[in-house]
Amino acid sequence: MSGEKCFEVLEKIFIPKKKQNIEEIKGYTIKYGNIVENGEIVDEVLVSYFKAPKSYTTENMCEINSHGGNVIVKKILELCLKNGAELAEPGEFTKRAFLKGRIDLLQAESVIDVINAKSEREAKTGIKQLEGFLSKEILQIKKEIMDVMVNIEVAIDYPEYDVDDVTNKQIQEMLDAVEEKLLKLEKSFDNGKIIKEGIKTAIIGKPNAGKSSLLNKILKEERAIVTEFAGTTRDTIEEFVTINGIPLKLVDTAGIRNAKDEVEKIGIEKSREIANAADLVIAIFDSSRELDQEDMEILELAKNKKSILILNKIDLNSKINEDDVRLKEVGGHIIKISALNNIGIDKLYDEITNLFNLNEINLDNEIVITNIRHKNLISKAIQNVKKTKETIENKMPLDIVAIFIKDILEDLGNITGEIVTDDIIDEIFAKFCLGK
């Protein structure tokens, strides 16, 4: 519970073994006792006390740690509500921390990123933003702008002093430095998107080429049905797996061929759509058979995309090799494996790592943008930097230049939440779960 009267509600339902007035209880302490209703013990609990302003929300807070089990937890929750508490809205605790100024909006958003992290790298990025690394960078950029804005305001307010030449030089140097930093942040979103959303990977191929066998080997479980009969997979199967700290969203698709079965036709069409939308296409071929027209269609789907061509079943007599011109024309990486015997799977991981430069993503020394809202505002700020430069080149008055510079500051302020609207705040915190 959090709020001015949370201790009043607590006192109605909690009897500590050692009674003390709330004024005597220090923050960051735990008391042992019982939750009671009408004199009867509901559960034996530990209660943590956090006193304003030294708490997550900067308000008085308490946490009741009970025995596990939905029945007990639900009963304690009902007692809290019965005695004056109200259910929190999604993200309300973090929202209060933001509104009270303990964290900025950027840090608040990172809380949900940490909670929803699908990999260690994503969690690490969220923690860095929660600690304020990106906030500090944005504030530093704003400070560089504000240092020059002071001179601009002087030049506007006191035109009798001839400081235009000096001011214009300062503005130009500042804009160049700010643009460079913003472009670096914008570029980091390429890696940030991979860290947060993962690499959407479509596994395509003819029936019985080994798509489902490959999926099972990567997942290290029998997730997809594998039989000697062609066309077993009729619909897509989606699973996440982590490679080098980056999540891969693997989609095993229906085998692509000229099917007569209406259900299989739908599955094949879906396979084509997924391949076209994927970040990475893994096209798998049965190397014990010659390439045919259906294989050529699969190669066409992999063309002009980030793709890896797999020659499967190398444990059998190979009739396709890496030097085949038709494979090389696609431009993808070619590797040979045996999904059945688990040969060459590590080569696939290495190719994915190299293809997306995963080893170059260094979270220790870099600030990485993972949130599309932040990226869009940074892009908008870059455009306003360019517009400001144009006004200087066109020899516009300083007061016009100042308007565009203020637009840059507004874009950056929207990221940290200094001037953000209530609608955007509500939209952000609506994505949170209850109790966060």
Segment 123-182, tens digit of pLDDT? 888 898 898 899 999 999 999 999 888 878 877 776 655 555 557 788 999 999 999 999
What pLDDT shows up at residue 161? 58
Cα–Cα distance measured from residue 429 to residue 9, given in angstroms and rounded to the nearest whole number: 26
In terms of C-beta density within 10 A (0-12 exposed, 13-18 middle, 19 or more buried), how is residue 170 classed? Answer: middle
Contacting residues for 315 by C-beta, under 8 A, at least 6 apart: 338, 340, 341, 343
Q: Is the pLDDT of residue 260 over 50?
A: yes
Mean pLDDT within 266-273: 72
296: pLDDT confidence band, cut at 50, 70 and 90? confident
Top mean-pLDDT range of 13-17, 126-130, 362-366, 394-398? 13-17
CA distances (Å), origin 272, targets 28, 102, 217, 348: 57, 49, 23, 22
| 243 neighbors 353 (Cβ within 8 angstroms) | yes
In the block, tokens 């038709």 appear at 326
pLDDT bracket for residue 231 (50, 70, 90) = very low
Distance CA 177, CA 355 (A): 31
Counting residues of the chain whose pLDDT is more than 70, the rounded percentage is: 89
Q: How confident is the model at residue 120 (pLDDT cuts 50, 70, 90)?
A: confident
Q: Are 417 and 104 in contact (CB under 8 A)?
A: yes
**What's the pLDDT at 230?**
41
pLDDT of 331 over the 90 cut = no
**With 80 as the cut, is the pLDDT of residue 183 above it?**
yes
Q: What is the mean pLDDT of residues 88-113?
A: 92
- CB-CB contact of 111 with 130 (8 Å): yes
Give, in degrees to the nearest 5, the angle at Cα 127 between 126 and 128. Answer: 90
pLDDT for the residue 225: 38
Across the chain, what does the average pLDDT equal? Answer: 85
Residues β-bridged to residue 100:
none
pLDDT for 203: 86
Cβ-contact 213, 292 below 8 angstroms: no
In the predicted structure, residue 406 carries a pLDDT above the cut 90: yes
pLDDT at 159: 63
pLDDT on residue 234: 41
119 close to 242: Cβ distance less than 8 angstroms: yes
Contact call for residues 223 and 274 (beta carbons, < 8 A): no
What is the length of the chain?
A: 436
Q: Is pLDDT of 381 > 80?
A: yes
User: Would residue 428 be called left, alpha or beta, if left means φ above 0 and alpha means ψ between -120 and 50 degrees?
Assistant: alpha
Lowest mean pLDDT among 21-35, 226-240, 272-286, 323-337: 226-240
Tokens, residue 216? 């099972």
Between CA 313 and CA 327 the distance in angstroms is 17
The model's pLDDT over 27-84, given as tens digits with 9 standing for 90+, comes to 999 999 999 999 999 999 999 999 999 999 999 999 999 997 899 999 999 999 999 9
pLDDT of residue 374: 94
State yes or no: pLDDT of 338 exceeds 80.
Answer: yes
Q: Which residues pair with 241 in a beta bridge?
A: 248
Exposure string over 270-295, b if 16+ CB within 10 A, otherwise e: bbbebbeebbbbbbbbbbebebeeeb
